[in-house]
Amino acid sequence: MRRRLYVLFIGFILLLALLAARLTQIQILESERFASVNAKQQRIILDGEDTRGTIFDRNGNRLTGADESFIYIIKKEVMDATAARIFQLIDADKVENESKRYYVYRSTLFSEEAAYVLKRDYDAFIIKGAARYEEEQPAVHIIGHINETDGTGASGLEKAFNEILSKKRKEVYASVDGRRMIIPGLGIFSTVENPDCGIITTLDLKIQKKAEQVLKDSGRSGAIIVVDPRNGEVLASASTPSYDPSRVEEYLDSNNEELINKVTQSLYPPGSIFKIIVAAAALESGAVNEESVFFCKGYEEINGVRINCLKEEGHGEISLRDAFSKSCNSAFIQIGQLTGGEEILKMAEAFGLGEKAFRGTIEEKTGLLPGIQDIQGAGIGNLSIGQGKLLVTPAQAARITAIIASGGTDYGLSLVKGTTEGGETKYFKRMLPRRVISKKTAELITSWMIETVDRGTANNLKDVGVTVAGKTGSAEAAYRGEMVVHGWFTGFFPALEPQYVITVFVEAGGSGRSSAVPLFRQMAEYLH
């Protein structure tokens, strides 16, 4: 019996020793961990604040986090009709947050009277901060948006550069008691790690806003892209219809394609702007020269398929220069037949068609080049005038134009200059310049594009105040269940020392002359 009691006593002592050791471990070795957990339990995270790195334009202007805003925090249990009315008056939107006890609202407006009532009658908390996006966010299709669930980039530059933009790690939080109620005396705090991280784009905020306004005022769906042909940097990229990146869920079931970036993600037949490439292929291959003459009877018939010219009665005898400036389909079909479909497709690839213009920086499509079987018979006719199984993005059209403007050299298109972090900016390497066509051919096509504006299909642009080189395009396509004509105009100025390439596309706009040229004019007058 004594032996048994002794064994039990020893076991009890050992158990106490183990418990004491565990308590010591908890108190000494794991105290920091438990303190951290406890601290986290004593605060709530307040969403709705800009917590990511900043996206800048080329001049250091903020493209994100630019709007001053106010965050209003109010207990759910005290929320009533009067408080709801106050939030309506200050145009405050409810923000999703993790707290089960508080509503969080955000507004760009601040009213001393409203703030006084909310604090006095509802014990509301009010802090000043910055929202991620403006209500009418500039360059929204380029910047993209973030996932509401985890705050990561979901599209555009937000997605492509999520790693660097996520390094800011900002938290706005409030200290709470055991009931998860905000402690008034301790207030609301924020922590920021790596506050200056971000990316520097090639965009110019002023030009970007102008392009967006021009498109918006037109009331049309379409795209405008502005490029510096001397280096391929994109100064503006606008797409309509637009959307509010803070309310993405409202557009998910829409048929208006607000979330689509028409500059890079929508594909269209290029129509007559493709005659730039046909002309380049014909001249470079030696199939034609600047002295070549053609005869237009108003149409061409290939294997029983009739393709009409822009001028119903025909142009008669017409030079290559006039065929380009007056956009003679008949002459260009003859040029295409002389050059050959394979040679034209080879030139199209050299101009960057069939590949992404931005090389994966943002979401974009490669376009579509027809196969060899698609350019047989009547197919060569369609190819020669930019129709058939040929699709491009407005970004690709701008790249084509920039190659001509730069004297036949391709600089590619770039959208981001570099990243910034810890006070240090790292600039990206540019694409090495690549000669596509001879300088002579580029200069010859430039002269024809000047003629297009002076006496051709874009002569409604000739008095813009600066010498413009350009090409109109009218592209037939199926659009939302019916056949329509899309409008194109792409050009550059000053024609002999180009600083700006502007490509305008208008969905279902009719002729490029009537729909796209007027928008180009507004941009040119602004930039000139």
Map out the domains of the chain as residue ranges.
43-201, 205-527
- Are 273 and 265 in contact by the 8 Å Cβ rule? The answer is no
Q: What is the mean pLDDT of residues 490-514?
A: 97
The CATH architecture of the domain made up of 205-527 is 3-Layer(aba) Sandwich (3.40)
pLDDT category at 173 given cuts 50, 70, 90 is: low
pTM of the model: 0.83
Which is more confidently placed, 45 or 91?
Answer: 91
Please tell me the distance from the alpha carbon of residue 36 to that of residue 34, in angstroms, as a whole number: 5
The helix-helix angle for 439-454 and 275-285 (nearest 10°) equals: 140
d(CA 221, CA 204): 22
What is the sign, positive or negative, of the torsion defined by CA atoms of 452, 454, 459, 464? Answer: positive
Q: What is the pLDDT of residue 480?
A: 82
Residue in this structure with the two tokens 């491009």, named with its chain if needed: 392
| Encoded tokens for 494 | 């000053």
* Peptide bond between residue 494 and the one before it cis (omega within 30 degrees of 0): yes
Phi-psi region of 327 (alpha: psi -120 to 50; beta: other; left: phi over 0): left
The mean per-residue pLDDT over the stretch 7-18 comes to 58
Residue pLDDT, tens place only, 75-86: 898 999 988 999
286: left (phi > 0), else alpha (psi -120 to 50), else beta?
Answer: left
Which residue has 């390439």 as its token pair? 501
| Model pLDDT, residue 175 | 67
**Sequence-ordered list of residues with C-beta below 8 angstroms from that of 25, at least 6 positions apart, any chain:** none
Task: Name the least confident of 11-15, 328-332, 388-392, 433-437.
Answer: 11-15
The yes-or-no verdict on residue 31 having pLDDT over 50 is: no
More confident residue, 451 or 116: 451
- Among the residue ranges 37-41, 52-56, 314-318, 460-464, the one predicted with the least confidence is 37-41
**What are the E-state strand segments in 61-166?**
68-75, 93-95, 102-107, 125-130
Q: What is the pLDDT of residues 323-364, one digit of tens each?
A: 999 999 999 999 999 999 999 999 999 999 999 998 778 999
How high is the pLDDT of residue 189?
61
43-201 CATH choice from 3.30.2010.10, 3.40.50.2000, 3.30.420.40, 3.90.1310.10: 3.90.1310.10
Q: Which residues pair with 74 in a beta bridge?
A: 103
Q: Please give the average per-residue pLDDT across 145-160, as a whole number.
A: 91
Query: How, if at all, do strands 54-56 and 198-201 pair?
Result: parallel
Q: Which of the four pLDDT bands, split at 50, 70 and 90, describes residue 513?
A: very high
Percent of the chain with pLDDT over 70: 85
Q: Which residues of 295-319 are buried (b: 16+ CB within 10 A; e: fewer)?
A: ebebebebeeeebebbbeebbeebb
How much is the pLDDT for 283? Answer: 98
pLDDT higher than threshold 70 for residue 192: no
Cβ atoms within 10 Å, residue 236: 29
pLDDT in tens, 217-228: 999 999 999 999
Predicted confidence at residue 464, as pLDDT, reads: 95
Burial class (CB in 10 A: 0-12, 13-18, 19+), 37: exposed
Q: State CA 494 to chain mean position distance.
A: 26
Find the mean pLDDT for residues 60-71. Answer: 82
Q: What is the pLDDT of residues 278-292, one digit of tens each?
A: 999 999 999 999 999
- Segment 429-434 shows an average pLDDT of 90
| Structure tokens, 365 | 């499509």
Residue 86 DSSP one-character state? H
Say how many C-beta atoms besides its own lie within 10 A of residue 9's C-beta: 10
Q: Is the pLDDT of residue 3 over 90?
A: no
Q: Count the neighbouring beta carbons within 10 Å of the beta carbon of residue 212.
A: 23
Q: Is 184 helix (H, G, I), strand (E, B) or coil?
A: helix
Is residue 444 helix, strand or coil?
A: helix
For residue 182, give the 3-state DSSP assignment.
strand
- Give the model's confidence band at 165: pLDDT under 50 very low, under 70 low, under 90 confident, else very high: very high
Token pair in block for residue 137: 């966010």
Amino acid at 57: D
Q: What is residue 135's predicted lDDT score, i.e. its pLDDT?
A: 78
Residue with the bigger pLDDT between 135 and 488: it is 488
Let me know: does 257 contact 241? Beta carbons within 8 Å.
Answer: yes
Model confidence at 387, pLDDT cuts 50, 70, 90, reads: very high
